[in-house]
Amino acid sequence: MNTFSGALFGQVDWAITDKLHLLPGIRANYDQKKVDYKRETYGGLANPTAAQLKLLQGVYSNQAFVADTSNTNYSGQLTIAYKLIKQVNLFATYAKSYKPVGVNLGGLVNDASGNPDLTTATIKPEQVNHIEIGVKTTPTKNSTLNITVYNTDIKDIKPLYNRLI
Amino acid sequence: MIDQDTPWRSNQDLGGVSLNIDTKLGTGTLTSTSAWRYWNWDPSNDRDFTGKQALALSQAPSKHKQWSQEVRWAGSLSKKISGVFGIFAIGQDLKTDPYHTEESGVDQWRFAKSTTGIVKTVDQDALWATPGLLTVTVFTPFLN
């Protein structure tokens, strides 16, 4: 497997007033992933019957495929922060995020005609939308009290899973 | 008491190096971070965890390399605006070393038995139990 990612990013902190800050950030990301997969099976019976071969191939089979995929994503966030008093900071953040496009390294399921289902060779990017509002406080010199409420929506989530080949 | 018939091994060789360079540029600091890492993995596992020959071997020896480079500038744009801007790149390469192996033995049919690919005209249990049917080695080389 071979991967390349490149990104341009920037974020600024704009002090609109002494108490009010706006912090926009943006990132452009390019991701490319390539895999060349080959699985070879040796052994078993020297001369299996058709029925035996079918059972064997349901468990172990040869497979070869090549996948090469790339994707460009834009992500970013915007935070607004307000210092109510010295000990109390209010903030709200919106973030749009992602996990890059993926390739499947664990072998593919076969389609009805017994060929690897190449639609499962690549994995769509995961898209995340996140909002968060909260307050950060220092009630006394040696204490901190923060409260945050957040909501994260994830589309095309990429769970990790393993299966025996 | 441990009943198993494949050596256990988790050999790892890993390391890396990185270089940071800071320099003043205008009203801020320009920073370059270069990094290179590698991870070589040489495992051996008894995947059935027993002295039976089911999934006798399961090992994925691999070589993994990655490099990355970041150049960023952080500083003040005006009295009221500060920021950070940069470019980042990372590449990685993962290869089998020389190949991944999964090996099944004479007991594997007990675990692999399923209704997949069922042939109704013959005795399924006898068919699954055919000696040597699933005594198979699977090699998986990732090329590139």
| Distance from the A19 Cα atom to the nearest Cα atom in chain B, whole angstroms | 12
CB pairs under 8 A between A and B: 133
Q: What backbone torsions phi and psi does residue A103 show, to the nearest 5 degrees?
A: -125, 155
End-to-end alpha carbon distance in chain B? 42
CB burial of residue A115 (10 Å; 0-12, 13-18, 19+)? exposed
pLDDT in the model for residue A28: 98
pLDDT tens digits, one per residue of B54-97? 888 888 899 999 999 999 999 999 999 999 999 999 999 999 99
Inspect the interface and report whether the beta carbons of B141 and A107 lie closer than 8 Å.
no
Q: Cβ–Cβ of B136/A107 closer than 8 Å?
A: no
Q: Which amino acid is at A14?
A: W
- Nearest alpha-carbon partner for A125 in A155, A149, A101: A101
Q: Which band of pLDDT confidence, cut at 50, 70 and 90, is reported for residue B143? A: low
Q: Where are the domains of chain A?
A: 2-39+47-155
Query: For the residues A3-20, what does the mean pLDDT come to?
Result: 98
Q: Please choose, from the candidates A141, A151, A46, A148, the residue with its C-alpha nearest in 3D space to the C-alpha of residue A87.
A: A141
Provide the whole-model pTM. Answer: 0.84
